[in-house]
Structure 1
Amino acid sequence: MEGHQVRIGSGLQRAQSFLVLATLLYRTSHLVVGLTGVVRSAHGRPASWLLMSAAVGCSVLAFAPARSGGWFRRPAVVADVLVVGCALPFASYFWAGAQDTPAIGWAMLLGGSSSALAAVGLGRWPAAGAITLIAGTHVIGYRMTGAGAAVVVGHTNSVLSSAAIAWVLWWYVRRQGNLLDAATEQAMASEAERVRYAERMAHHRVLHDTVLATLTTIARGGVDANSERVRARCSREAAYLRRLIQRSDDEEGPVPGLGAALEGAVRAAEDLELKVTAQYHELPVLPREVVAALADAVGEALNNVQRHAGTGHAFLTAAGHGDGVAVRIVDQGAGFAPGDGDTAGHLGLAQSVHARMREAGGRAEVDSAPGEGTVVELRWPR
């Protein structure tokens, strides 16, 4: 994996970290058994201890950088194969006097973890060559000590099996890591698309609740387009949309307290010559996104009164209850039958009222009937 860039926190990086840990534990178990063998057979010979120290040193050289850097360095793996996998058995035989099968066993045992390290730390063909070299070395070493065919075959099988198991495990966790990375990228793309859609809907709501509401009212002749209040509202909406267009993604303007936010919605409705009688009782301090959602939903409900109710008067009450709040917008206008165009797919109620409250963790309820006016109730939390 040298030279291969792996994204921090990716599935492939996790797979690599797992393989490093697994092979480290395998090597540690062999070192513990080897240390026990040295203690039992050294008989005061310092050479066995020096060889054991060399095995520990090669292990540190191979695994310490891998643990900190995320994967094995090829020169360290090659050094481990040459020293621990190949040189150690011959050095034990010729230098440390391990000239029988039990005495040389600890040095041979380390060949299994060396072949496993080669299987995962080298490329396919270099790993095959290294494993063949280790197996050949161990066959020769055991034959030198006069070991029987069963011991030679059994140990060779252990060396090859260790490499095969390590390679299969590496193949599997690498595949799972790549699948996880692919799934993560797909999820991120889906989330980005969802955010883009939510942003588009937010822009649609702003346009619907401000500019479109104002233009619709003026087009219907319900207000004097040249009046000072209408012109003031148009100016505020133009300034707001200009800020919206120029604002960067991470900028957020200040959201006022709930009372001030509701008053802003009331003043905007009054600019279109809708009289609003408002009462507030013990309003709580709410999260900024909840304040924004309530104020926008109230603004759209008042816009609906002005556009559809056929009355010039609406009543607004807002009362806190514990950490929550209930807001009611009432008119005594024309009303409508549930299920008609104003509830089934109407952008104002569906998106600018119901959806806003849902997204903020609240709910909206609309009660209306032809000739009996309309009541819109907003609650947070649900």
Structure 2
Amino acid sequence: MKMALHRAQTSMVLATALYRGSHLVAGISAVLQHQRHRPVQWAMLGAVLACSAVVFADTRRRGCPGPWVVWLDVLVTGSLLPFVAYAWGGARASESIAWVMLLGGSSAALATVGLRRRAAATAIVLLLVTHASGYVAVAADTAVIGAHLNALVFSAVISRVLWWYLRRQGTLLDAANDRALAAEAQRARYAERIKHHRALHDTVLATLTAIAGGVDAGTNEVRRRCAREAAYLRRLVEQTGDQETGSEIFTALEESVRSAESLGLRVTARYHELPSVPADIARAMADAVTEALNNVRRHAGTGHAYLTVTGDSGRLTVAVVDQGHGLVPGRAAPGLGLTRSVHGRMREIGGRCTVDGAPGEGVSVELRWPG
């Protein structure tokens, strides 16, 4: 359920609970003043309290009152108790049965909130018949009966109108939030495209322009630069439309990859189903990857590293692997520096880092968020 609609529903349930609470306070006051020596009256109050507890416990668990608990309240609190008060509770006048009848208003309100339109109408009719019969049994005046039935009907009508209004406002607010989120996502995608366009302008287009202007394309420096730009283009093309949600982490990691490539390290990067992560998480992961790639460049004895980024159910896993010297016993400096720098960054964001390697088999650095 949408957030605003859920809040509207919660507000209506709270209002209904407070309405029932006011009736319970009136009932307790009436019993204490006039019928405190009648055990049946206290038993009736206990039944109302128990029924109300069941109703609102179910409402809290489900988020809204279930039909069966609403019918339980209508049948017990609204329909059965007036006859119990007359038959065993000593109610023989309208004043002595009034507190029981008062509870019908909150039962009617609850019915309009928890039942569909036809079922709610049926419940209201049942309450009207029951309460009219109860007042006739104690020989109440016609004016008293009419006023009470009018109050019962309008309790239902007001609750229905309020519930309709709150749901409508919640739906409209949720729709406005959805439009705002969609617009923000569109702005983010546009900004991402502009960022890629600028990167292409500063890299691939600059290289092609230099070659077209007469730079010798056969030199080793130009060939290496072309290879880097081709790798960047390949990774950019592989970012399909269904991976746009992970553009934040893609952009941050690409900066790390291109930084390593500018220092002479060849990086083969693959991205799969990138999740959407907060900007600070993406930045911290990219910093950790930068350090891992720097470690390959400085200590692995190889000019090639492999970066694999995957997402699964909102979890992000980044692996940096090389096929260099590996972790050689007795030479802890590289591993120690990597462990301190990368582990520290991952701990700060609630992630985890695992470093694995063996002599001659390279090193694997795996970053996970959340840890």
* TM > 0.5 fold call: yes
Residue matched to 1:106: 99
Q: 2:216 aligns with which of 224, 227, 231?
A: 224
Does 2:230 correspond to 1:238? yes
Asked whether the 8 Å contact 2:58–2:69 carries over to 1, the reply is: no
Does 2:1 correspond to 1:14? no
Q: Aligned to 1:206, what secondary structure does the other structure show?
A: helix
**What is the distance in 1 between the residues matched to 2:283 and 2:75?**
65
**What is the distance in 1 between the residues matched to 2:114 and 2:126?**
16
Does 2:183 correspond to 1:190? yes
Does 2:151 correspond to 1:146? no
**What is the distance in 2 between the residues matched to 1:39 and 1:82?**
25
Residue matched to 2:278: none
Percent of matched pairs sharing the same residue: 51
Asked whether the 8 Å contact 2:109–2:156 carries over to 1, the reply is: yes
How far apart are residue 128 of structure 1 and its match? 1.1
Cα-Cα RMSD: 2.7
How far apart are residue 170 of structure 1 and its match? 0.5
Higher share of residues assigned helix: 2
Q: Give matches, 1:129-208, under 5 Å.
A: 129-208=122-201
Deviations 1:78-128 (A, max 9, x none): 111111111111111111101112211110110110011111111111111
Does 2:115 correspond to 1:122? yes
Residue matched to 2:30: 37
Residue matched to 1:214: 207
Q: Aligned to 2:92, what secondary structure does the other structure show?
A: coil
Residue matched to 2:43: 50
**Which 5+ residue runs of structure 1 have no aligned equivalent?**
1-6, 268-286, 293-382
How far apart are residue 264 of structure 1 and its match? 5.4
Residue matched to 2:79: 86
How far apart are residue 174 of structure 1 and its match? 0.8
Deviations 1:125-172 (A, max 9, x none): 111111121122212212222222221111111111110100000110
**What is the distance in 2 between the residues matched to 1:27 and 1:158?**
15
Deviations 1:195-236 (A, max 9, x none): 322222222122111111111121122x22222222222122
Residue matched to 1:70: 63
**What is the distance in 2 between the residues matched to 1:67 and 1:32?**
22
How far apart are residue 240 of structure 1 and its match? 2.9
The one-letter code matched in structure 2 to 1:109 is L
**What is the distance in 2 between the residues matched to 1:72 and 1:130?**
15
Q: Give matches, 1:353-364, under 5 Å.
A: none
| Structure number, greater radius of gyration | 1
Aligned in 2, Cα 1:212/1:43: closer, same or farther, shift over 3 Å?
Answer: closer
The one-letter code matched in structure 2 to 1:143 is V
**Which 5+ residue runs of structure 2 have no aligned equivalent?**
265-281, 288-371
Alignment TM-score, normalising by the size of structure 1: 0.63
Deviations 1:10-40 (A, max 9, x none): 3222221111111011111111111111112
Alignment TM-score, normalising by the size of structure 2: 0.64
How far apart are residue 246 of structure 1 and its match? 4.4
Asked whether the 8 Å contact 1:38–1:48 carries over to 2, the reply is: yes
Of 13-22 and 68-77, more deviation after overlay is shown by: 13-22
Residue matched to 1:253: 253
Asked whether the 8 Å contact 1:100–1:145 carries over to 2, the reply is: yes
Asked whether the 8 Å contact 1:119–1:166 carries over to 2, the reply is: yes
**What is the distance in 2 between the residues matched to 1:232 and 1:79?**
78
Q: Aligned to 2:253, what secondary structure does the other structure show?
A: coil
Q: Aligned to 2:37, what secondary structure does the other structure show?
A: coil
The one-letter code matched in structure 2 to 1:148 is D
